[in-house]
Amino acid sequence: MNDVRPIRAKSGSNHEGTSAHNRRVMIDALRFNGALSRAELARATQLTKQAVSNIIEELERDGFVASLEAVRNGRGQPSRPYRLVPERAFAVGLQIDRYVTRALVVDLIGNAMVRAEANLPSGDPAEGVGVILDLIGRVRAELAARTARSEERIVGLGVAMPGPFGLGAFGDNQWVMPAWQEFPLLDRLAAGTGLSVGLQNDSAACATAERLLGAAQGVDHAVCLYVGYGIGAGLILNGDSYRGGHGNAGEVGMALLSPTGRNRMPLEHRASLASLYQHLGMDPADAHLHERIDELASSGDARIMAWIEAAAPDLRWSVHLVETIFDPQTVILATGAPPSLATRLFEAVHPLLPSIAVRPDRAFPRLQLGIADPWAIALGAAAEPIGRAFDPNFSAMLKSRPETYSP
C-alpha cells in the first residue's frame, strides 16, 4: 500500500462563479508543493476531478503550467504531474531603508533572478526616488537581456520600508523616515515604472520571506520578530499575512517597555540595530558597516557582547508579548545583521519567559532563528505583487483588489 503524499493547499470551491478563485488555488498549490498530478490536486484542493482537469488545461494553454513525464505508482494507471512555469510571471521587489535601497526581480515561484543595490542620499526623497527608479530600470533591463518577453510578464512592484504609515509628522525621530512618510512615493513609483505598486512595512516583508524560504514554511500561525534599524513583528495568521487596518500591524518596536518611570522608552530605542550603532559609535551610512559588525560579533568583541546582554531581556519580553497576544505556532527571530550577530543574539534571548506557548503538544520550537540576510526584505516585497496576482484569498473571490497603504 502506497503512502499518501502530504500536500499543503487551500480549498477551492465547486460552486458556480468561483473559477478565478480556483485558478489561484491551483497555482498556489503548485507553487508550495512542486509538481502534482491531477488526482493529487483534486484531493488537496477538494475540487472535483473534472474541475481540476478544466483548470489545468486552461493554465497549460495560458503557459502557466507544463506537464512532465507520466509516473506509474503501484498497479494503477500512470499519472502525469504538472509544474508551474517559473518564467511565466515576474515581480519586482524594492526595499527602501534609511541609507540604502535594494531591488530584485523574482519569478513566479520566488526565485531571485537579478538584483542590485544603491546608496540613498540623505534628506530630500525627491532625489532618492530618482536613484530608486534608476535601480529598478537596471534590474528590469538585465532581466530583459536574459529572458524573452519579460517586460510584458511583470505583474507589479512590491515596496517595503520602515513604518508606521499615515501618522503625520514624526519630527526628528531617527527610527522613522519622516520625509519619506510624507512623500507621494507610490504615485511617483507607479508613474516612473508603469507598474502597479503595493506597500508594506519591512517586518511584514520579512515574514513573507520566511514563509517562502525560511522557518515559516508550512506554518499557518507565526510571528516574525524582525530586528533591523528598528524592530517590528510580521504576522502570519491563518496562513495569510496580516497587515492591520492601516498597514501598521506588528509595530512592536514602538511599544513602551514601561508606561512610567525610567523605562518609559520604546523597545526599538534599546534593542534595535540603530541602538547598536549608537552604542558602538558607528555611522549607519558606512558602506562597510555589515562587514565591521560581522568582524566584531565573530570575535566576541566586548562592546558587542555588552549590547547583546542589555538587548536580550527586552527581546525576551517581546517574544513573551507576541506569544501572549497572537498564540502563534512559533516565533521567528530574523534580522538583516550578519549571521554571527544573529546567532549570538538568538542564544542570549534564552531561556524564554513562561507564557501560554509552554504546552506539551508543541510541533515547532517556541523561538527559531530566521533568515539573516539583508536581501530578505526585498525578496518579501517582491512576493507581494505575486500574491496580489495569483494567491487565493477572500478578496480574489470577491474579484476586488487588496487594499494598499500610502505613507
| Pair 157, 286 in one domain | no
For residue 2, is pLDDT > 90? no
| Pair 137, 243 in one domain | no
Beta strand 154-161 with 90-96 is parallel
Final residue before a domain boundary, out of 45, 68, 84 = 84
Final residue before a domain boundary, out of 84, 114, 131 = 84
pTM of the prediction? 0.85
| Pair 93, 236 in one domain | no
Count the domains in the chain: 3
Compute the Cα dihedral for 96, 102, 103, 106 and give only its sign: negative
pLDDT (mean) for 206-214: 88
Answer yes or no: are the C-beta atoms of 388 and 401 closer than 8 Å.
Answer: yes
The reply to whether 143 falls in a domain is yes
Task: Name the nearest CA neighbour of 155 among 24, 300, 329, 267.
Answer: 24
Which range has highest mean pLDDT (74-88, 247-261, 320-334)?
320-334
- pLDDT digit string (tens) for 126-147? 999 999 999 999 999 999 999 9
pLDDT (mean) for 45-63: 93
| Pair 284, 358 in one domain | yes
Query: Which has more confidence, 167 or 270?
Result: 270
How far is 302 from 283, CA to CA, in rounded Å?
A: 19
For residue 9, is pLDDT > 70? no
- pLDDT digit string (tens) for 157-184? 999 998 888 776 554 566 677 788 888 9
Terminal-residue alpha carbon distance, the chain: 57
| Pair 99, 172 in one domain | yes
The reply to whether 149 falls in a domain is yes
Query: 136 vs 73, 189, 375, CA distance in Å?
Result: 47, 10, 15
The pLDDT, as a whole number, for residue 403 is 39
Query: Which has more confidence, 70 or 15?
Result: 70
| Pair 113, 75 in one domain | no
What nine digits make up the cell of 329?
A: 505556532
| Pair 224, 359 in one domain | yes
| Pair 233, 367 in one domain | yes
| Pair 77, 112 in one domain | no
Q: Name which of 104-118, 210-224, 391-405 the model is least confident about.
A: 391-405
Contacts of 319 (CB under 8 A, 6+ apart): 225, 331, 333, 349, 352, 353, 355, 366, 367
Cβ-in-10-Å burial (0-12, 13-18, 19+) of 246 comes to middle
What nine digits make up the cell of 272?
A: 534595535
Q: Name which of 4-8, 154-158, 221-225, 378-382 the model is least confident about.
A: 4-8
Written as one letter, the residue type at 117 is E
Task: Name the nearest CA neighbour of 32 among 7, 15, 69.
Answer: 7
The reply to whether 406 falls in a domain is no
The pLDDT, as a whole number, for residue 182 is 81
pLDDT (mean) for 284-300: 92
| Pair 266, 154 in one domain | no
The reply to whether 404 falls in a domain is no
Which range has highest mean pLDDT (48-52, 102-106, 254-258, 398-402)?
102-106
The pLDDT, as a whole number, for residue 173 is 60
Query: Which has more confidence, 381 or 268?
Result: 381
Compute the Cα dihedral for 31, 36, 37, 42 and give only its sign: negative
How far is 326 from 161, CA to CA, in rounded Å?
A: 23
pLDDT (mean) for 120-125: 83
For residue 328, is pLDDT > 60? yes
Tell me the pLDDT band of 233, cut-offs 50, 70 and 90: very high
Query: Which has more confidence, 257 or 70?
Result: 70
Cβ-in-10-Å burial (0-12, 13-18, 19+) of 387 comes to buried
Residue 166 maps to which CATH number?
3.30.420.40
Contacts of 333 (CB under 8 A, 6+ apart): 225, 227, 315, 319, 342, 345, 346, 349, 367, 368, 369, 370
The reply to whether 4 falls in a domain is no
Residue owning grid cell 523616515: 177
The reply to whether 405 falls in a domain is no
Tell me the pLDDT band of 399, cut-offs 50, 70 and 90: very low
Range of the domain at 72: 19-84
| Pair 147, 255 in one domain | no
| Pair 232, 313 in one domain | yes
Residue 58 maps to which CATH number?
1.10.10.10
CB atoms within 10 A of CB 136: 22
